[in-house]
Structure 1
Amino acid sequence: MAPTPSDPTVSDKTEGATRIQGINRRLILDAALEVFSTYGFRGSTVDQIAEKAGMSKPNLLYYFPRKQNIYVTVLEDTLATWLEPLEHIDPDGDPLEELRRYIALKLEMSAKKPEASRLFANEILHGAPAISEFLKGHLKELVDEKAAVIHRWIAEKRIAPVDPYHLIFTIWAVTQHYSDFAVQVSAILGKRADDPNFYEEATRSVSAIILDGIKLRDENPQP
């Protein structure tokens, strides 16, 4: 009697195949991130990605039939991960603590996944052809939502009046500098940039610089 889909043997085989497919997709995307961030979309080849992933080109093409498919998926994965900290800013939390946490998480991402930041920066520099709709759609909606939260904090006199969009842009620019311009940072700081506590120090400094700029000031200081 032939096994049916409900039989344990069939179920186990299906789960095993699905697990292997998931592992292979992850291997491909991790390899692609490294290759694309180094050579750009045009300078990268499927052969390079397959070699980096440790699999044959035909095997890779089973999962992603075109280089464009791999590239877009890597960018989508990167953006989904990057936007999580912004999405989790709590409107009812303490503004300075919420922004401090956001800055810390952005710097942590720069430290752990510099390739992702460089890939995104390269895409933007080329006009964002693969993700322009995402930028105009989901990203804009999310930033508008968080800008409204910051506007509310200002109206409630919890932080100083600043343009919310420029505040968000400033956080992005400063935190991503450490990955996008890592070569420059290392050239200037030398061994200090390799210190295990470097990003902890950077987080303290960047947080102080940005957050001190939005703290409420006493309008009538005592002499």
Structure 2
Amino acid sequence: RLLSIKPHQAGTKRDEELAQFYKNSFRDAGLDRSYLIPYKVLLSYTNPERPNRIYLNDKSTNAVYIIDNQEPPLRPDESNTISSYNGYSPSGDIIGEPVYCNYGLIEDFLQLDNVRIDLNGKICIIRYGRIFRGNKVMNAERFGCAAVIFFNDPDTISPFGNGPESSYPNSIWLNGKTMQSGNIRLNDGDPLTPGYPSIIDGFREDLNDNEQIHLPQIPSQPIGYDDVQMIFS
């Protein structure tokens, strides 16, 4: 419980505290050597001063509904949740019409193209499942989308409804405000040291050379399925 009671993103103070805890635990257990090795890795965080938000605007571009990236606390004593986001998503202010793109598969985009739905500059709304979220963003980018909004399908994560009695903490299922964060980069490991350990003095790729580091070029953001219903209503 000690290890999971608080968020501990890589590179944060809490992450370092837990690393020290492990090191001390190994030492106290009688291991001959217990030490920490620092690594320098390109990580992705949200900006607390400019949190990710989605605005639903009317025809006069006035915001009529705002979707925040902060999940409501599941317990009364919970106050340190991490804002929901997709790791390595670029920043950006995108304005566009929403288009539902199912799972974001190639065949989903081809189907939209076959019925002459123009995706250029659109904000693609895609449900999780079937393929990795990073491939969904790559497909959306390939077909001209300006951004991606992710959500969990309630049929998958809340098959018995989203009332208080049917969702956590009263059941194992997720409520309509739950957002699935996660990395959207296609390659494994540190983007700047592909295939090599990220030691302090190691060679690193140029952050601006996207042919080498393969970072997504369009923003994406996860939201809850309650907010997706508001978009489509």
TM-score, normalization: structure 2? 0.26
Quick check: which has more Rg, 1 or 2? 1
Structure (1/2) with the larger strand percentage = 2
TM-score, structure 1 normalization: 0.26
More helix by share: 1
